[in-house]
Amino acid sequence: MDDSTNATGKNWWQRLTGGLRRTSASISGAIADLVTKRKLDEATIEELEEVLIRADLGIDTAGRVAAAIAEGRYNKTVTEDEVKDILATEVEKILAPVAAPLTIAPDAHPFVILVVGVNGSGKTTTIGKLAARLAREGRKVTLVAGDTFRAAATEQLKIWSQRTGASIVAGTQGADAAGLAYTGLEQAREQGADVLIVDTAGRLQNKAGLMSELDKIVRVMKKLDTTAPHAVLLVLDATVGQNAISQVTEFQKTAGVTGLVMTKLDGTARGGILVALAAKYRLPVHFIGVGEGVDDLAPFAARDFARAIAGLN
């Protein structure tokens, strides 16, 4: 995919830093407060660790990053910029292996993307943005309104299909989602679509019944194409705390998650849990959501993300 620009011509990097700017401003402010003209001693490192905890890295990951920062620099006097640099480098080290674009394999017809996540995480909106992006690349996109549970979920996706010119396969509320996914895949084939994106109802990962419905969607599509779904995206909300770990575990178990998208990074939430997730799962992170608009989807870039978090640009 061509990730360098989007429809408005704004550089994605500007978007990403725009979305993260205030977030990083507060982090870098905190860093500045604590290390200006200070020795990198135990107390300072502890405070640095707390800055990371506040960004939702989680206590273990924060501890590890803080320890890495301390290593070899213990008791040295460091400037604010140096600390930012070090912080960015350490975070980037963890994130670099997981930054990967979403590759649409050319041999799948269509390439099926299943989108899953807990309620309200941003699945439908991400699908809208992704459809727009793929359409811009000249691909023919079909959407499946697989959320047959939530009130007006189908209407919501229909509006996105109109916005993006993607065709849509929808059923009635209460219809069987797996059946709809099957029909969607059939129709997409007939119409020669390049990509099929399947929306699903939000579900909490600890609800066994709902999770097995997800499993059914996967199984049913395999009847038509044993390699489908080709990508399973788990959409995470940046405000989520340590629960994201359990989300990844469970959705991966049931739906075989292949990659992550993190939304709402335009807010105050830091989304630092991504760092913990990267360390633990090594699942690729494809995109970040930085707003509600059709263009507010940026590819995930480790270096930039890390530098933006550290308050560098």
Partner 1 sequence: MFDNLSEKLSGILDRLTGRGALSAADVDAASREVRRALLEADVALEVVRGFVEKLRERAVGVEIIKSVKPGQMVVKIVHDELVAMLGANAEPIDLNAPAPVPIMMVGLQGSGKTTTTAKIAKRLTEQMRRKVLMASLDTRRPAAMEQLAVLGQQVGVDTLPIVAGQSPVQIARRAIEAGRFGGYDAVLLDTAGRITLDEAMMAEAADVERAANPHEVLLVADALTGQDAVNLARAFNERVGLTGIVLTRVDGDGRGGAALSMRAVTGKPIKLIGTGEKMDALEDFHPARIADRILGMGDIVSLVERAAATIDAEKTARTAERMRKGAFDLNDLREQLGQMQRMGGIGGLMGMLPGIAKMKNQLATANVNENMLKHQVAIIDSMTPKERRNPDILKASRKKRIAAGSGTKVEEINKLLKMHRTMADMMKAIGSGKRGPLAGLANMMGLGGGGMPSPEEMAKLAEKMPGGLPGGGAPGLPPAMPGLPPQLPGGLPGLGGKLPGGLPGLGGFPGFGKKK
Ligand X SMILES: Nc1nc2c(ncn2[C@@H]2O[C@H](COP(=O)(O)OP(=O)(O)OP(=O)(O)O)[C@@H](O)[C@H]2O)c(=O)[nH]1
Site for partner 1 in 245-274 (CB under 8 A): 246, 264, 266-270, 273
**Burial letters for 33-64: b for 16+ Cβ neighbours within 10 Å, e otherwise?**
ebbeebebeeebbebbbebbbebbbbeebbbb
**Cβ distance 142 to 195 under 8 Å?**
yes
The footprint of partner 1 on residues 123-182 (CB under 8 A) is 149-153, 155-156, 158-160, 173
CB of 292 to Mg ion, least distance (A): 13
User: Using the rule CB under 8 A, which residue among 11, 167, 183, 243 binds partner 1?
Assistant: 243
Contact positions vs ligand X (CB under 6 A): 117, 119-125, 147, 150, 153, 202, 263-264, 266-267, 289-292, 296
From partner 1, ligand X, Mg ion, none, interface partner of 217 (C-beta below 5 to 8 A by class): none
Separation CA 266–CA 24 (nearest Å): 11
Q: Which partner in partner 1, ligand X, Mg ion, none is near 137 (CB below 5 to 8 A by kind)?
A: none
The answer to whether 119 contacts partner 1 (rule: CB under 8 A) is yes
> HSE on the CB side for 119, CA within 13 Å?
9
User: Please, which residue, 159 or 283, has the CB nearer to ligand X?
Assistant: 159
Let me know the angle formed at the C-alpha of 263 by 84 and 159, rounded to the nearest 5 degrees. 150
Residue 234 as a binder of partner 1 (CB under 8 A): the answer is: no
Distance between CA atoms of 248 and 98, rounded to whole angstroms?
A: 14
Question: Computed from CA positions of residues 71, 76, 80, 81, in that sequence, does the dihedral angle turn out positive or negative?
Answer: negative
Stretch that binds Mg ion, among 62-70, 120-128, 213-221, 274-282 (CB under 5 A): 120-128
Spatial distance between the Cα atoms of 87 and 99, rounded to a whole number of angstroms: 18
Closer residue to partner 1 (CB): 66 or 221: 66
Residues found near partner 1 in the complex (CB under 8 A):
22, 50, 53-56, 58-59, 118-122, 149-153, 155-156, 158-160, 173, 204-207, 237-243, 246, 264, 266-270, 273, 292
